[in-house]
A and B are shown apart, each in its own frame.
Chain A
Amino acid sequence: MNLAHLLDDQLRHRPEKVAFEGDGRSLSYAQLARLSENFAASLTAAGYGPGDRLAVVLPNVPEYALAMFALWRLGAVPVLINPQLTGRELDYILRDSQARAVILPEALLGVLAPLRSELPNLRAIVLGVPADKDLNFAGLAAIPGQCPVAERHGDDIAQIMYTSGTTGTPKGALISHGNLLANARSGVERLSVTGDDHLFCILPVFHAFAFTAALVIMPLAGGSVSFEYRLSPKKLTEHLSDPRVSVMVAVPSLLSTILRFPSELKLSAALRCILCGGGPLPPQLEAAFVQRFGDLVRQGYGMTECSPYAAFSPLDRPSKPGSIGLPMPQGHKLAVRDPISGNFAAPGEVGELVVSGPHIFKGYLNQPEATAQAFVDGWLRSGDLGYCDEEGYFFLVDRLKDMIIVGGEKVYSREVEDVLLTFAPLREVAVVGQPDPDKGEVVRAFVSLQEGATIGEEEIVRFARERLASVKVPKSVTILAELPKSATGKILKRELRKQFAPK
């Protein structure tokens, strides 16, 4: 079972059909198969083979698909990395994953440069003009070569996706070929995906939500994908009105953005559903969207660790406001348990959402303790609180984790706090989510200073910007004499939220 075989059916039935396009380039299924085999053969010649880990730090471009299918064919393991990470974050992931090569655009060579003296065995495969000793992406794909699809077992790892952790250190989630295939098959059934579907994918593919939709579900069904990485009104308008677009993936903040577009905006007449994940969809927002564009939005729920879809609202009946839908079909289970006693909850009772089935990941790389903590009695813990109604629909209520969702991206308060606490002038730090009309929430930091320290908010933001991806950088910093604490000295963020709530 190797995901590279997904192309076999499409080569037989629709070889000339465009599979992936974006940034002015496109790949038919036949071209994807040919070029990915060339690429895999070139990698073999360059000394890479089954089991090797290669980092992929690309935006949403067709070459993402080419790299994935080449690495799967080779039996190698792609390590997916957000191109917006800072050098510090990238350094950690490259070391932790022991990646032997990194596939990246020329524009990111500057971020990689300071790390290279410490990682002498790491080669760069560059989309664009490579430096000395580096390999050229297009060159590797252009050299004709043969490379049979490596035999892979369902439990063999197909990708490593890094997720932020509550302790501030990212964890590499190990997702197998079997995990992705099971989840994609279940997605094809729930969302009735066919070879006629065309997905518009503007959410980053290094996140599980977009990855499985664009790179597994669509090739499985024989559909096609338009990639975009520029969130400009012009680009967005072009894609949304593209008459081929039948499905798109979104986060709530993207729906808000679309709602602010002028009334002339017409969505593609073929658009049959907008899959919304990445955080709770406010019912008012859903209602406003439905009123203007029709009943297109279906909310879902998932996690990187379950490849990622755990639930989605069915398409054949009206959406239930506020619900994340029904558990995915084909053996995917979703349940509610009391987070402390472990008892399963009755309908309407709030507890922690837990997941099991063929889509559950194989653990975190190098972190057996974190892996053990992720499960309870064989169920994957979500850290989200919710309930199930009498009809089996699930609803989210709150988070057990201290986490902020910025435009669909999860930011753990602790990670930001731990980084800011390494700044010598700061004594105490508390990071909270502040409601934001565009992003849903943004990061806000409250700090107190060491005695005698005199720094301004701008310096603190600059310190954060040098060490954290932009999504995690506080939008605002407030300096206080002391942070509010309980009588025994515990920092109480609820007091900050009360005192500094936006008027």
Chain B
Amino acid sequence: MPQAALLQEVLEEPWRLRSGVEALLRPLRPSDLNLHWGLFHNCSTQSLYQRFFQAPERSKVTDSEVARFTNFDCSRELAVAAVQTTGGGPELGVVRLVHLGSDIFEFAVLIADPWHRQGLGRKLVQKAIAIAGAGQVRRLEGYVLASNRPMLTLCRQLGFALERLGGEGLYQVHLELAGDGRPTVTGGGPIAPADR
């Protein structure tokens, strides 16, 4: 079962942001509800929009909606949070992997605004690739808004292929893996034609 293997592979990892902030990368747990609320709270409308393709007013985000992201079915989903190791330990960002069937997983990243541009997005996507590879995942894919150039650039640099989805300002990025965490194809070529 690749998904069972996935969870076992997630070891805690200390990591330092470019600004010097010390963080611990660790699996997100159901008991992290309040911590995860804090992550949402530290995200601007624009960051939430880029993550969910919708920017709800914060007052409309309910406990049950945040709980969906901490209390999930561990047999098909996992999330790795970057939590500051000092100063009350706010959650700085999170990467999520969800099993789509066969050996394919979807990933998504959310970084709170105060910790943007410090290498954390790259670190978390690399973490997702490493976890996926170790778990014998064959393909990692995600959706990125065409306007989110930093994320598209990062994905291309990390070897993802970018495929434009016609008509809605959206890309699907995907990385084929050999099962040992190494990409089998390299992105960076011209944009694939629209899938209309």
Q: Which residues of A approach B to under 8 Å, CB–CB?
A: 166-167, 338-341, 345, 349-351, 385, 397-403, 414, 417-418, 421-422, 427-430, 432-433, 450, 486-494, 497
Contact = CB atoms under 8 A, between A and B. Distances in A.
A348 to B, nearest CB: 11
Contact of B96 (A349, A401, A488): A488
A402 B156 contact: no
Interface in B49-67: 49, 51-57, 60
Contacts of A339: 146, 149, 152, 191
Interface in B114-170: 142-143, 145-147, 149, 152-153, 156, 162, 164-170
Interface of B: 46, 49, 51-57, 60, 68-69, 77, 96, 98-100, 106-108, 142-143, 145-147, 149, 152-153, 156, 162, 164-170, 188, 190-191, 193-194
Contact of A487 (B53, B57, B98): B98
A398 B195 CA distance: 11
Contact of B153 (A340, A398, A417): A340
A341 B166 CA distance: 19
Nearest to B64: A451
Contacts of B143: 486, 490, 492
B146 A488 contact: no
Among A345, A486, A492, max chain B CB count under 10 A is at A486
Contacts of B188: 341
Given A489-B52, A491-B53, 18 more contacts: A166-B147, A340-B149, A340-B152, A340-B153, A340-B156, A340-B162, A345-B190, A351-B191, A398-B164, A401-B146, A414-B49, A421-B55, A427-B60, A450-B60, A488-B96, A490-B53, A494-B165, A494-B168
B6 to A, nearest CB: 14
A402 B147 CA distance: 9
A397 B146 CA distance: 15
Given A339-B146, A421-B57, A450-B60, A398 B96 contact: no
A450 B108 CA distance: 25
A167 B46 CA distance: 8
20 contacts: A338-B190, A339-B152, A340-B162, A345-B190, A400-B147, A400-B169, A430-B54, A433-B167, A487-B99, A487-B100, A488-B106, A488-B107, A488-B142, A489-B68, A489-B69, A490-B53, A490-B108, A492-B53, A493-B170, A497-B167
Q: Is the interface of B mostly helix, strand, loop or mixed?
A: mixed
B153 to A, nearest CB: 6
Nearest to B152: A340
A422 to B, nearest CB: 7
A429 B77 CA distance: 26
Contacts of A414: 49
Contacts of A492: 53, 143
B106 A487 contact: yes
A429 to B, nearest CB: 7
B172 to A, nearest CB: 10
A398 B167 contact: yes
A401 B152 contact: no
Contacts of A490: 51-53, 108, 143
A430 to B, nearest CB: 7
Identify which of A402, A418, A422 gathers the most chain B CB atoms within 10 Å of its CB. A402
Nearest to A483: B54
Nearest to A166: B147
B57 A398 contact: no
B190 A349 contact: yes
Contacts of A428: 54, 56
Given A385-B164, A397-B194, A486 B169 contact: no
A497 B168 CA distance: 10
Given A340-B156, A385-B164, A494-B165, A429 B54 contact: yes
A427 B166 CA distance: 26
A121 to B, nearest CB: 31
Contacts of B191: 338-340, 350-351
A402 B168 contact: yes
A361 B73 CA distance: 52
Contacts of A341: 156, 188
